[in-house]
Structure 1
Amino acid sequence: MSAPPLGADGWWPEAIRYDTPYADDRPDPADITLLVVHNISLPGGRFGGPHVSDLFTGRLDYNTDPSFADLRGLKVSSHFFIRRDGRVMQYVSANDRAWHAGLSVFRGREKCNDYSVGVELEGTDDSGFEPAQYQALAVLTLALQSRYPLTDVQGHEHIAPGRKTDPGPLFDWEFYRKSWQALLNQKALDEPALVGASAGLRFAKGLLQSQ
Structure 2
Amino acid sequence: MDTYSKARRIHSTHFDERPDPADISLLVIHNISLPPGEFGGTAIRDLFTGQLDCSAHPFYEQLQGVRVSAHCVIYRNGSIEQYVPFTARAWHAGLSSFQGRSRCNDYAIGIELEGTDCDSYTDKQYQSLIALSQDIQAQYPAITLGRIVGHSDIAPGRKTDPGPAFDWSRYRQALAQR
Query: Do these two structures clear the TM 0.5 threshold for a shared fold by scoring above it?
Result: yes
Q: Which residue number corresponds to residue 158 of structure 1?
A: 153
1:135 and 1:176 in contact (8 A); partners too: no
From 74, 77, 93, the equivalent of 1:82 is: 74
Q: Which residue of 2 aligns with 1:24?
A: 16
CA contact (8 A) 1:35 1:154 kept: yes
- Give the counterpart of 2:176 among 159, 164, 181: 181
Distance 2:176 2:139 in 1: 18
Q: Does 1:167 align with 2:162?
A: yes
Q: Report percent identity of matched pairs.
A: 51
TM-score (structure 1 length as normaliser): 0.81
Does the CA contact (< 8 Å) of 1:38 and 1:155 recur in 2? Answer: yes
Deviations for 1:146-170, whole angstroms, at most 9, x for unmatched residues? 2113131000000000000000011
Would you say how many aligned residue pairs link Structure 1 and Structure 2? Answer: 175
- One-letter code of the match for 2:128? A
Task: Give the secondary-structure state (helix, strand or coil) at the position aligned to 1:120.
Answer: strand
What is the CA–CA distance in structure 1 between the aligned matches of 2:176 and 2:98, rounded to whole Å? 24
Q: What residue number does 2:89 align with?
A: 97
One-letter code aligned to 1:32: I
Question: Quick check: 1:73 aligned with 2:65?
Answer: yes
Q: Which has the higher contact order (CA 8 A, sep 6+)?
A: 2
Cross-structure match for 2:26: 34
TM-score, structure 2 normalization: 0.96
Superposed CA offset, 1:37-95 (max 9, x none): 00000011110110001000101011111110000000000000000111011000000
Whether the aligned pair in 2 keeps the contact of 1:86 and 1:135 (CA below 8 Å) is: yes
Pick the structure with greater CA Rg.
1
Give the whole-Å Cα distance in 1 for the aligned partners of 2:138 and 2:170.
21
Moved over 6 A (4+): none
RMSD: 0.8
Partner of 1:117: 109
Given that residues 77 and 100 in structure 1 are in contact (C-alpha distance below 8 angstroms), is that contact kept between their aligned partners in structure 2? yes
What does residue 142 of structure 1 align with?
Answer: 134
Q: Which amino acid aligns with 2:143?
A: L
1:178 Cα deviation (Å)?
Answer: 2.0
Gaps of 5+ in 1: 1-7, 185-211
AA at the equivalent of 1:178: Q
Structure 2 spans left out of the alignment, 5+ residues: none
Question: How many angstroms apart in 1 are the aligned matches of 2:53 and 2:174?
Answer: 37
